[in-house]
Amino acid sequence: MQPKKVKVGVIGCGTICKRTYMENMVNKFNILEVVGCADLIPERSKAMADKYGIKQMTNEEIYNDPEIEVVCNLTTPESHFEVSSEAMKHGKHVYCEKMMAVDFSEATELMRLAKENNVMFITAPDTFLGAWEQSARFYIDAGIIGKPVSVHAQHTCSYRPANPIFDLSPDSFFFPLHPGGGLPFDWGGYYLHTMLNILGRITKVAGFGGNYEPNMLYTHPAHPKYKENFFVDTPTSIFAALEFESGVHGTFQLTSESYNSEHFEITGTKGTLVLGNPNNFDGSMILKRPNMKEKPRMMGAPGQGGNGAQVDRAQLGEFAMPEEMVLPMLHGFNDGSCRGVGLADMAYALRNGRKPRADAQIGYHAMEVIHGSIESQKTGKTYIMTSPFERPAPLDITIAAGISGQEAVLDD
């Protein structure tokens, strides 16, 4: 028998809602039923409501609707605290787009409110539930690189918009240069959630972080504020060393002050796994092991005798083991964009009485890592992590075609 659908109210009908979330909530996940949507700009919520045949509502109407169980908070980071806290006070479970708040103090208060009001609190990013991220965890747990030793995450880009409409209207609002939207929050969450899912709790953070050039210029000649300064009131850079409870050590480096570059890998006693882009559900994993260069012993290789006879590598051709190889995906949610899978998992958790995989504990722990790096810079001391964290339950392996088949792994 199909479980009862979980009714959802969406607050925030901007870019991320239009681009992917609403389509997925309405048409991809059977467990969800979107009742209505709200936005500070009524024209945006009306357009969304008309497109998907749902109600145009106000925030208050969503908070007070007794049928709505979950509020999906897709507002800008500066509004996350207000919307999430108000929803919790009305007894609603909350799914919040990344990150949960603009700083660690707000995040701490949201965690308190969730507990006080006995509601589930779920945060994005939920890409760690995607195909390559879950497969990477399976492979590493199975020992494919031996015992994990280190993790290295590095992402740089340039957040210096040079367009004539930058921040002139809600649709051109560039949240990564506003509170709670800097690169440590915008991209850091993807790397941190993936690291936490694979390697577990972080115990210590030491490093540097902050905003290296808070005063930037409007650089497009057609912009009405051309050559004027604007103030970037959010951390733009993190350079940190991490110590995990498991004994793994890592580097975590992000800045939006330089040109594009990225690298993500986990090393172990027997090999290295080069990981994909944690912002994507689909991707690749490249395994590197030194013994992959050795001449393999194969039973009954083409043109060769069996019984484990030594086979010459040159004669094997396509059967020879390469120095590195791309590992196959073992899990679902690999169709490019499955944003909202964390919300669907939350809905099944509500119906089945279990802990959701994207529980706010992971988002809060990630927030503390960013906070700890900045505090370490200020004090010159190693920051000791305080928040508890347990790895979420892994998803079962599935080669099922289509979202409907993949969705079944959430119903556990």
CATH of the domain at 347: 3.40.50.720
For residue 184, what are the β-bridge partners?
none
**Which CA distances in Å does 74 have to 12, 15, 254?**
5, 9, 24
Residues 193 and 161 occupy one common structural domain? yes
- The answer to whether position 284 is within a domain reads yes
- The answer to whether position 332 is within a domain reads no
Residues 158 and 286 occupy one common structural domain? yes
Residues 113 and 166 occupy one common structural domain? no
Residues 63 and 198 occupy one common structural domain? no
- The answer to whether position 368 is within a domain reads no
Residues 193 and 62 occupy one common structural domain? no
Tell me the pTM. 0.90
Residues 273 and 161 occupy one common structural domain? yes
Identify the domain boundary among 265, 299, 326.
Answer: 326
pLDDT digits (tens, 9 = 90+) for 137-189: 999 999 999 999 999 999 999 998 888 999 999 889 999 999 999 999 999 99
Q: How far apart are CA 254 and CA 269, in angstroms?
A: 26
Residues 211 and 164 occupy one common structural domain? yes
Residues 318 and 346 occupy one common structural domain? no
For residue 210, what are the β-bridge partners?
237
Residues 290 and 155 occupy one common structural domain? yes
Q: How far apart are CA 20 and CA 30, in angstroms?
A: 16
The 55-56 sheet, strands edge to edge: 55-56, 32-38, 6-11, 70-73, 93-96, 121-123
Name the one residue in this structure whose structure tokens are 């507990």.
Answer: 115
Residues 99 and 189 occupy one common structural domain? no
- The answer to whether position 80 is within a domain reads yes
Query: DSSP E strands: which ranges in 310-356?
Result: 324-326
- The answer to whether position 370 is within a domain reads no
CATH number for the domain spanning 287: value is 3.30.360.10
The 272-274 sheet, strands edge to edge: 324-326, 286-288, 272-274, 257-268, 148-158, 249-255, 237-244, 202-210, 383-384
**Number of independent structural domains in the chain:** 2
Question: Residue 170 contacts by C-beta under 8 Å, 6 or more apart in sequence?
Answer: 14, 41, 44
pLDDT at position 398:
81
- The answer to whether position 405 is within a domain reads yes
- The answer to whether position 1 is within a domain reads no
Q: How many CA atoms lie within 13 A of 204 on its CB side?
A: 9
Per-residue pLDDT in tens (0 to 9) along the chain, 412 residues: 788 999 999 999 999 999 899 999 999 999 999 999 999 999 999 999 999 999 999 999 999 999 999 999 999 999 999 999 999 999 999 999 999 999 999 999 999 999 999 999 999 999 999 999 999 999 999 999 999 999 999 999 999 888 899 999 988 999 999 999 999 999 999 999 999 999 999 999 999 988 888 999 999 999 999 999 999 999 999 999 999 999 999 999 999 999 899 999 999 999 999 999 999 988 889 999 886 654 434 333 333 333 333 434 344 344 344 488 999 989 989 876 799 999 999 999 999 999 999 999 999 999 999 999 999 999 999 999 999 999 999 999 986 545 556 899 999 9
Residues 48 and 121 occupy one common structural domain? yes
Q: How far apart are CA 337 and CA 408, in angstroms?
A: 18
Smallest CA-to-CA distance from 78 within 238, 185, 150 is with 185
pLDDT digits (tens, 9 = 90+) for 35-84: 999 999 999 999 999 999 999 999 999 999 999 999 999 999 999 999 99
pLDDT at position 113:
98
**Which CA distances in Å does 322 have to 282, 286, 296, 316, 353?**
23, 11, 10, 11, 46
- The answer to whether position 236 is within a domain reads yes
Residues 294 and 191 occupy one common structural domain? yes
Q: Which domain holds residue 195?
A: 129-326
